[in-house]
Amino acid sequence: MYNLFSVRYCFLSKTTMIWLIVLTILSVLFFYKVVKPLSYWKDRGVTHKKPWPLLGNFSAIAFQQKPIFYQVLDWYNQFSNERYFGIHQFTLPILYIRDIDLIKRITVKDFDQFIDHNNIISEDVEPLMGKNLFNLKGQRWRDMRATLSPSFTSSKMKMMFTLISECAEQFTKYFEKQNEGLLEVEVKDVFTRFTNDAIATVAFGLKCNSLEDKNNAFYMMGKTVTTFRGLTLLAINLYSMFPKLSKFLQLRILSKSVVKFFTGIIKETLNKREKEGLVRPDMIHLLMEARKEQMSNDTKKSNYKLVLTDEDITAQALIFIFGGFETSATLMCFVAYELALNKDIQMQLQNEIDETLNECNGILTYEALHKMKYLDMVVSETLRKWPPGFLLDRLCVKDYVVEPANSSEKQLVIEKGDLIQIPFPNPDTFDPERFNDENKHNIEPFSYLPFGSGPRNCIASRFALMENKTLIFHLLSKFDIVRIDKTPYPMKIAANAFNIVPVGGFWLGFKLRENKQLT
């Protein structure tokens, strides 16, 4: 009886010990992964927003109580007297930079210490995302940037202008054919259809008409890739909070069907062009020419590091989807929105458009588009007030010392692996005259960064501006953009999406201009 009791007692003791060990390990992990990060900015003497466990300062965003656009703006204004301040994106500490001189140092002068973006997606899990230019790091990014840069020069944009202009004319003619006095339009929907067609023709060599064929495969796949909601948004948040665990679980942002679709298009296009010698003034042709040049150089220089594979070309073509499908359409929406609310500005822009058409004998040219000063002013002011990319991010790759600028600061060491972000200010008044020849020189350098700053700025900025200006030109040449009952005013941004979209949709009216009837 005594021996049986002893055995049971020992067994229970061992079981208890195992549970104690497990609980101890879990407690240690909880402390180092959840509790300790909360004091990151406090330990460094950085002014910061007090974080909550696990959620950090992102509770309002996580529970869709406030859109990230307004949350970042609130933080920016709350710390108006600071050169920088600390925030926790869930468990990840992030340093927000406000000081213009410090922004210049980080993005340009000391760029080599902040060369990378915070790419949390593993190339092993998502090759097409990991291999595109935005997500590449270090020397691989340098090599790819050098390879792609010649494809985005003004001369190459001129080659692609005809394709973009054709898409813009097709877009405008679709609404002309409606032959109604006033069309009520959800412009986010129709502008994404235009950007889809522009991307399809320029980056993938395909012809689409997404206004006529509303459910075409390319549009549906593009919408899937750029809609960060539901399970996709959950996966992104999990990568932010638990990158190693997410990689271990092989969480994917792109579905296998999306990868198969875009990879198949590129391979089919490359094979057909190589076999038949087809030439088309688009991005596929430019990347094929870049690969030929690399292979030629490789025979002369054995240490040449980068030769584009089919997967590399597909990954770079997808940049247009990630960077152009949603963000370009958002910019177009806000241009249209501000023009609808500011009729005098719209009339002045239409006068410039009419004058340009007369000078071009009714056919817009690349050169004429880039001479239009007021159009450039309107687009620039929209980018200032409603920047689709309202944050820049940089990853510190080598410890960086920020010396104190006043008695309230201490020396700060931005450690290797620390993430920094740069929010943009957002005064409310829409005034294109900020960017006229007389005033634009008064804009403080590095206070206006619509396409980033330094060597890691947006490589496709020329393309994005050309795309937007071309559509605005053709649309306003035929239509007035007007405010209707469903137009969101004042603007209220939806909290359930990462992108900037108003609650209830982006509704505006297209009214055919007098003397601009379809003939």
Binding positions for heme: 458
Q: Quick one: 180 exposed, middle or buried, by C-beta within 10 A (0-12, 13-18, 19+)?
A: exposed
Nearest in space to 254 (alpha carbons), one of 410, 123, 108, 126: 126
Q: How many CB atoms lie within 10 A of CB 301?
A: 9
Annotated binding site: 458
Secondary structure of 430-499 in the HEC alphabet? CCHHHHCCCCHHHCCCCCCCECECHHHCCCCHHHHHHHHHHHHHHHHHHEEEECCCCCCCCCCECCCCCC
Q: Helix or strand or coil: residue 410?
A: coil
HSE, side-chain direction, 13 A CA sphere, residue 340: 27
**Preceding peptide of 490 cis, ω within 30°:** yes
**Which residues partner with 183 through β-bridges?**
510
DSSP 281: S
Q: Report the candidate in 134, 136, 36, 133 with the shortest Cα–Cα distance to residue 88.
A: 36
Angle at 311 (CA atoms; ends 126, 320), nearest 5 degrees: 80
DSSP state of 39: G
In whole angstroms, give the CA distance from residue 382 to residue 340: 13
Cβ pair 418, 95 in contact under 8 A: yes
Euclidean distance between CA atoms 380 and 11, whole angstroms: 74
Distance CA 203, CA 214 (A): 20
Helix 187-203 and helix 217-226, axial crossing angle in degrees, nearest 10: 110
